[in-house]
Amino acid sequence: MRIDVLTLFPEMFAGYVGQSLLKLAIQRGLVDVRLHNIRDWSSDKHQSVDDRPFGGGPGMVMMAPTVVECVEAVQTGNDETYDEEHRRVEPGHLVMLTPQGRRLDQRVVEELSTQRRLVLLCGRYEGFDERIRMVLAPDEISVGDYVLNGGEVAAMTVIDAVIRLVPGVLGDDESAHCDSFSSGNRLLEHEQYTRPREYRGLEVPEVLLSGNHEEIARWRAERSRQRTAERRPDLLSD
């Protein structure tokens, strides 16, 4: 899967892209993440990307020409980061990260993971000039009902959840199909324990030490159901 991120703060992604599961997925050629600085598409001498809103009010609004031209250039491959192989990649599914979007959940993550290419547009300041939406018709996605300082952390959330579903990214023994919230599993995970067997007087449940795999599976299924009933009864009812 190829993921292009359009942002005013590409440096924010450096640590994340270079770590852990994503780093391995990139090294193994399963995921290709490209960062683009929206400011590079600004045409005036101050390289401005935002301006005051018409009609007044606080904050700054991201300007349509810069953002639209950046998205179009990245989607058509008119930027220097493309190589021959990636010229063949389709324009990609454009996602705008905004608190006004549809709420991200595992169903949306599964849907996004079927795309060969995602283009993630991160906003800053008070928002986007409405004509960006009108021209580009992006899939608007929110990570929750709270306001972040920008779309970058939201984009990392999308990437983090989506790459788990890219075939080969997780090891054989950590199938994403077992994840809570995935289709076919609407239960929270059962509790887990590791060494030591006793900590501050708290013992690991006997059944987990029994070696009886059938009984362990039964116990885990029951704990999973109970936890869900206690913490997220809504998952059992819908």
Please report how close the Cβ of residue 14 comes to ligand ADE at its closest, in angstroms: 20
Q: Which stretch, 33-41, 72-80, 92-100, 178-186, contacts ligand ADE (CB under 6 A)?
A: 92-100
Instruction: Figure out which of the listed residues 6, 70, 97, 188 binds ligand ADE, where binding follows CB under 6 A.
Output: 97
Residue 85 designated active-site:
no
Strand-strand pairing, 61-62 and 50-51: antiparallel
**Which of 8, 38, 121, 154 is in the footprint of ligand ADE by CB under 6 A?**
154
For ligand ADE, the binding residue among 42, 75, 113, 142 (CB under 6 A) is 142
- CA distance linking residue 149 with residue 169, whole number of Å: 30
Nearer to ligand ADE, 153 or 208 (CB): 153
Backbone phi and psi for residue 101, each to the nearest 5 degrees, phi listed first: -85, 180
Give yes or no for residue 38 binding ligand ADE (CB under 6 A).
Answer: no
Distance CA 171, CA 162 (A): 15
Select the residue interacting with ligand ADE from 10, 92, 99, 138 (CB under 6 A).
Answer: 99
Positions in the binding site for ligand ADE (CB under 6 A): 97-99, 142-144, 146-148, 150-151, 154
Catalytic residues: 99, 126, 164, 179
